[in-house]
Amino acid sequence: MGRLTELLDLADKRGREAQLGYRGQLHPLEAAEILALAPGGRLIDVRSHAELELVGSIPGALHVEWQSYPGWPANHYFLAQLNQQVSHEALLLFICRSGHRSAHAALAAQQNGFPQCYNVFGGFEGSIDKATGRRTLDGWKNAGLPWRQG
């Protein structure tokens, strides 16, 4: 068994155990490794344009907003925009700030004909540490993975 299969099997197992409705969950380091191993894999950042500008972005990620700032209305064109950017056969990894919106996006995509949808839990910024009130526990940035400001 190759490393890619091993990582996807682990993510699939998490998905089955949690009954997510999409394929599975990945830690940010696992997601980055999968993207390096699977040339057809795509990272879909579902954060708002404002978040990308103010907080930072991931080089090479596709951007399809799940909700927009200000007011956070749903992007009713999410699936149409996703269809324009990726193949239904592609391995899709969804990410947002903390992993919550991207879980909804992964579920919507899975339910609409994309069979290989995974959520990156911890998201871009990570979970809030209750002791400090800061997002320092997990996430793409906290894992030391590539990102850029602005």
Buried b (16+ CB within 10 A) or exposed e, 30-61: bbbbbbeebeebbbbbbbbeebbeebbbbeeb
Q: What is the pLDDT of residue 86?
A: 97
Q: What is the pLDDT of residue 55?
A: 94
Whether residue 74 lies inside any domain: the answer is yes
Q: What is the pLDDT of residue 92?
A: 98
Whether residue 93 lies inside any domain: the answer is yes
Whether residue 72 lies inside any domain: the answer is yes
Q: What is the pLDDT of residue 133?
A: 87
Whether residue 147 lies inside any domain: the answer is no
- Domain count for the chain: 1
Q: What is the pLDDT of residue 137?
A: 80
CATH number at residue 113: 3.40.250.10
Q: Which residues, given as ranges, of the chain have pLDDT below 70?
A: 1
Whether residue 112 lies inside any domain: the answer is yes
Whether residue 70 lies inside any domain: the answer is yes
Q: How far apart are CA 6 and CA 31, in angstroms?
A: 12
pTM for the model: 0.95
Structural domain span for residue 49 = 3-135
Whether residue 76 lies inside any domain: the answer is yes
Residues 26-49 pLDDT 10s: 999 999 999 999 989 999 999 999
Q: What is the pLDDT of residue 134?
A: 87
Whether residue 141 lies inside any domain: the answer is no
